[in-house]
């Protein structure tokens, strides 16, 4: 069983819509959760981090964490074509270890 | 704050040739990671250093890959000899040891083995 699972997509949404990206993880000792955005040919860029249950909002981005369900999600409101990228979910466990999902490819259609 | 610096950005070599990648982490970051990322996949850990000690190298193909982090700062990852299947992006990242500290990635090195 993979440590971190994401739907690979591709996910397509029209401009201005809400994009919803989901991630599940298997290790119950997971401590911190991160979303990275990766444009084609570029390296991953941190866009959101969340550590406790509930929602965390930053501009058009909202991260949601439910530790009981071992589920973390990212909502992108008012999606823009510039949001088109692959979104990687990352989980940090004790010992400074990170596990990544395979990424969800998002396309925002103008 | 300067980010993680990697070089070279691109490298094309023939199979069986050696290749080396260099990484300078963010100043003060104790932990340094080398990841390999294949197209359409998430990054996969090759080796993790805490200061100068390699604490997780279980996924490093030790028959051909080697790494070092002298003085606990810069790091070098080497492949010798390279194989066609080594073509990938090699990412260096660093972080602080704190629980909520994220990974910060360098720009990566895209390796093509022909």
pLDDT digits (tens, 9 = 90+) for B48-89: 999 999 999 989 999 999 999 988 899 999 999 999 999 999
What is the model's pLDDT at position B2? 83
Which residues from chain B sit within 8 angstroms of residue A93, using beta carbons? none
User: Distance between CA B20 and CA B44 in Å, rounded?
Assistant: 18
Q: In this predicted model, what pLDDT tens digit does every residue of B5-55 receive, in sequence order?
A: 999 999 999 999 999 999 999 999 999 999 999 998 999 999 999 999 999
Nearest CB among B40, B56, B105 relative to A97 is that of B56
> What is each CA distance from B20 to B15, B75, B78, in whole angstroms?
14, 10, 4
> What is each CA distance from A65 to A29, A33, A78, A83, B57, in whole angstroms?
14, 8, 21, 21, 30
User: Distance between CA B89 and CA A44 in Å, rounded?
Assistant: 12
On the question of a cis peptide bond just before residue B100, with omega within 30 degrees of 0, the verdict is: no
- Could you say which DSSP state residue B86 is in? G
What is the model's pLDDT at position A8? 76
- The rounded mean pLDDT for chain A is 94
Nearest CB among B91, B101, B102 relative to A43 is that of B91
What is the model's pLDDT at position A82? 97
């Amino acid at each position: 069983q993979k440590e971190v699972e994401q739907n690979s997509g591709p996910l397509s949404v029209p401009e201005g819509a809400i994009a919803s990206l989901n991630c599940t993880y298997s290790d119950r000792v997971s401590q911190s959760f991160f979303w990275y955005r990766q444009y084609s040919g570029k390296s991953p860029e941190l866009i959101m981090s969340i550590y406790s249950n509930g929602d965390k909002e930053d501009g058009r981005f909202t991260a949601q964490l439910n530790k009981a369900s071992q589920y973390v999600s990212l909502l992108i409101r008012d999606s823009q074509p510039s949001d088109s990228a692959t979104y990687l979910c990352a989980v940090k466990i004790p010992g400074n270890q990170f596990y990544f999902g395979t990424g969800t490819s998002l396309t925002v259609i103008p | 704050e300067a980010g993680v610096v990697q070089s070279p950005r691109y490298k094309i070599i023939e199979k069986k040739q050696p290749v080396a990648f260099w990484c300078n982490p963010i100043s003060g970051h104790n932990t340094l990671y080398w990841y390999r990322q294949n197209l359409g996949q998430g990054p996969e850990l090759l080796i993790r250093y805490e200061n100068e000690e390699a604490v997780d190298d279980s996924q490093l193909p030790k028959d051909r890959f080697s790494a070092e982090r002298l003085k606990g700062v810069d790091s070098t990852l080497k492949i010798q000899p390279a194989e066609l299947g080594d073509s990938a992006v090699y990412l260096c990242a660093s972080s602080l040891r704190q629980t909520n500290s994220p990974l910060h990635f360098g720009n990566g090195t895209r390796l093509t083995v022909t």
